[in-house]
Homo-oligomer: A and B are copies of this chain.
């Protein structure tokens, strides 16, 4: 459960962003932001569309894409591209985390490491000002590893016959 406080804060930040950029503060934009901050973890535009429809605030896909682009620019959400569809997640008052991605089943797990985070955030680059980052660690999750071991043993058994 996300606190009302966070929702109010991000709404205020979004308002300030839109004023700075001379954009119109529409109901739809606030509704998209609020829907996003009610979601824990990753979501794609389809998820968001369905969630808002269920909450009886239907907005078109075009508007969702438009608003998501603004929220990205305002640094209120971050974008990930794990597979073919873009995934997003809220990022205000959320710990920066790293992603473990199983190359076999596609499962994404989040892990935090303060040490690693500090190392990356304190890096300086020539001709580049860092705002944020994403670390994707690929490998095999434990359930796929076990499944592979079982499969291999089965094959060896068959070959012996």
Q: In the complex, A123→B109 CA distance in Å?
A: 15
Does A140 sit within 8 A of B, measured CB to CB?
yes
Closest chain B CB from A119 CB (angstroms): 6
Report the stretch among A3-11, A27-35, A125-133 that lies at the interface. Answer: A125-133
Whether B123 and A113, one on each chain, are in contact in the complex, defined by CB atoms closer than 8 angstroms, is: yes
Q: Interface size on A (CB < 8 Å)? A: 35
Does A111 sit within 8 A of B, measured CB to CB?
yes
Apart from A81-B82, A129-B145: 20 A-B pairs, beta carbons within 8 A: A72-B103, A81-B81, A100-B128, A103-B131, A116-B119, A116-B120, A116-B123, A123-B137, A127-B141, A128-B137, A128-B139, A128-B140, A128-B141, A129-B139, A130-B138, A130-B139, A132-B137, A132-B138, A133-B136, A135-B135
